[in-house]
């Protein structure tokens, strides 16, 4: 019969459905009002490589052989939801990092906390890698202990803007892509969790020594400028100067942790698109990352 599917057709249908994007079940990026660039940020470096739209709704930053560029939030935060829609440059971008992250490196140099979303540049025909990372009290002992999880996305991040966000509250850090939680980093102890205030940053810079296939491919300035576009800025958090009534942003509408549908969406993202997990790396010294043991 014409309506009957063959076994190979059923298999292809199953594979397609198994990779279908799930509903995140919760849309935090649309719960919050966006803000103009100068209401939330200021230039940090490379002002000549930064362009802010007239209505302050977007920022374009770029890297060439002379400089990159970065911006920084006007105030620090002790928790919050931090998001932006970002569009990356296509083509040859090896060695180039576009980053959106929290850090207190300037307040605590050599002994800082950091929560990263980083896009690792690539060569034509290969996907961008989205790297998430958490540093706890930095490298004060001479060792930088990163907690990297890396993903290849389910869309082309150069074709359109997509929303990327970090939620940081006293219980957990959650990384979101288009409101789908791709990673959850729970608080298991003060020793493995950032508790000091951090600022929000965006930047583009040359990391040729490690960014693309461990430094195999370097930034090639024949392809300059390398451009990153940011819009839909969201900062919703408590600063050290906020009144006591300022409460941390919860991970779900119920006020608790991730919902069951969010967990399902995260499992989907990690099953199909995660390409590296520091806890599963047998070459790592996991005495430095005790959360991996559990």
Which residues make beta-bridge pairs with 201?
A: 72, 101
State the pTM of this model: 0.91
Closest among 261, 232, 251, 183 to 21, alpha carbons compared: 261
76-95 residue pLDDT tens:
999 999 999 999 999 999 99
Find how far residue 134's CA is from the centre of its chain.
10
Q: Residue 193 — very low, low, confident or very high, per pLDDT cuts 50/70/90?
A: very high
**From CA 275, how far away is CA 282, in angstroms rounded?**
15
Q: Structural domains in the chain?
A: 32-281 (2.60.120.200)
Closest among 115, 96, 37 to 71, alpha carbons compared: 37
How high is the pLDDT of residue 27?
74
Across the range 25-54, mean pLDDT stands at 92
The residues that are catalytic are 114, 118
């Amino acid at each position: 019969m014409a309506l009957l599917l063959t076994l190979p057709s059923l298999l292809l249908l199953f594979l397609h459905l198994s990779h279908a994007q799930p509903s995140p079940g919760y849309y935090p990026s649309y719960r919050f009002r966006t803000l103009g660039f100068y209401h939330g940020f200021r230039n940090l470096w490379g002002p000549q490589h930064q362009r802010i739209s007239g209505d302050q709704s977007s920022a374009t930053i770029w890297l060439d052989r002379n400089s990159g560029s970065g911006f920084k939030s006007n105030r620090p935060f002790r928790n919050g939801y931090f998001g932006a829609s970002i569009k990356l440059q296509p083509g040859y971008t090896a060695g180039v990092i576009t980053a959106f992250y929290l850090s207190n490196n300037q307040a605590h140099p050599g002994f800082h906390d950091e929560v990263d979303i980083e896009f690792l540049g690539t060569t034509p025909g290969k996907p961008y890698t989205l790297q998430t990372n958490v540093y706890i009290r930095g490298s004060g002992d001479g060792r930088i202990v990163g907690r990297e999880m890396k993903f290849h996305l389910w869309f082309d991040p150069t074709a359109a803007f997509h929303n990327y966000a970090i939620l940081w509250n006293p219980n957990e850090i959650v990384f979101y892509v288009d409101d789908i939680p791709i990673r959850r980093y729970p608080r298991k102890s003060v020793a493995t969790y950032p508790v000091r205030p951090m600022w929000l940053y965006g930047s583009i810079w040359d990391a040729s020594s490690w960014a693309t296939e461990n430094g195999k491919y370097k930034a090639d300035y024949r392809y300059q400028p390398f451009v990153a576009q940011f819009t839909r800025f969201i900062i919703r958090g408590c600063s050290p100067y906020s009144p006591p009534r300022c409460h941390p942003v919860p991970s779900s509408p119920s006020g608790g942790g991730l919902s069951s549908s969010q967990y399902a969406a995260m499992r989907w993202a990690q099953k199909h698109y995660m390409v590296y997990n520091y806890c599963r790396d047998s070459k790592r010294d996991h005495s430095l990352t005790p959360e991996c043991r559990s």
